[in-house]
Amino acid sequence: MAGEPGCGKTIFTIHFIYQGVLDNEKSIYVTTEESRESIINQASQFNMDFEKAIEEKKLIIIDALMGREDRWSLQSLDIEVLVGKIIEAKKELGYGRARVAIDSISAFWLDRPAMARRYSYYVKKVLSKWNFTTIAVSQYAITTSEAFGWGIEHIADGIIRFRRSIRSGELKRYVLIEKMRQTNHNRYLNEIDIVPGKGLVILGPVERRKEDLSLPRDVFKKIIDTKKKSDVEIP
């Protein structure tokens, strides 16, 4: 999953994990961008009680923000340490289907982007063996518009892309499923909203715009030119 800042990625992962809690799956949330408290607080704004889920041993939040010493905190942004900690959390929660959200996975290769593909392959290989459904947030580098770094989009079974834009002075957010292996999915760019008390809500597909349907300018010009020529030649 990828997208610019503030377009709803973290909130989407919170929904994904809470659904796991409701479905009685072992649920694990890894946060590298915000503290554990911040995630719990954000969830509570949408009536998702993460504290209760933690108490009931349905959820573990792994804090990778550093500077903490408790059992569910990471002391370094090392991909093998992360995978080890996720498996430890799974053992703690017990047998059965499990889901994990990693927000974000790019934090683990920020200083070595060339490792992105190898690292993400390793994460996929190990966690799928442990019966995990994994969703990972990939940060969008504003400078290069390169969201994934070195081809991890080929390794992921699905890609969900978040976007934002400003229309008539208002911030709008969108979501597009770009890939979902073995699934016939919605192919429209859908507008979303983030609603207090509810969280992420899908408003519906964005109306097709003229530029979606019109031909590229040079092709259009060729057609006009050809038409003009034939108008002259044919009396």
Residues in contact with ligand ADP by the rule CB under 6 A: 3, 5-11, 45, 194, 196
- How many Cβ atoms from other residues are within 10 Å of residue 150's Cβ? 16
The CA distance from 225 to 165, in Å, is: 35
Instruction: Indicate whether 31 belongs to the interface with Mg ion (CB under 5 A).
Output: no
Decide which of ligand ADP, Mg ion, none touches 194; Cβ closer than 5 to 8 Å per partner kind.
Answer: ligand ADP
> Are 9 and 42 contacting, i.e. CB atoms less than 8 angstroms apart?
no
Does 10 help bind Mg ion (rule: CB under 5 A)?
yes
Name which of Mg ion, ligand ADP, none residue 20 binds, using a CB cut-off of 5 to 8 Å depending on partner kind. none
Which residues are bridge partners to 191 per DSSP? 174, 204
Residue 5, binding choice from Mg ion, ligand ADP, none, Cβ under 5 to 8 Å by partner class: ligand ADP
- Single out the residue of 144, 127, 136, 124 nearest to residue 86, CA to CA: 127
Residue 8 or 149 with smaller CB distance to Mg ion: 8
Coil/strand/helix, residue 170: strand
Q: Which does 196 bind (CB under 5 to 8 A by kind): ligand ADP, Mg ion, none?
A: ligand ADP
* Residue with token string 């409701």: 22
User: Which window, 3-11, 54-62, 146-154, 221-229, contacts Mg ion (CB under 5 A)?
Assistant: 3-11
Name the binder of 7 from ligand ADP, Mg ion, none, CB < 5-8 A by kind.
Answer: ligand ADP
Could you say whether residue 106 binds Mg ion (CB under 5 A)? no
Q: How far apart are CA 32 and CA 20, in angstroms?
A: 20
Our finding on whether 13 is near Mg ion (CB under 5 A) is no
Q: How far is the CB of 9 from ligand ADP (least distance, A)?
A: 3
d(CA 190, CA 162): 10
Distance CA 217, CA 208 (A): 18
Total residues at interface with Mg ion (CB under 5 A): 1
Binding site for Mg ion (CB under 5 A): 10
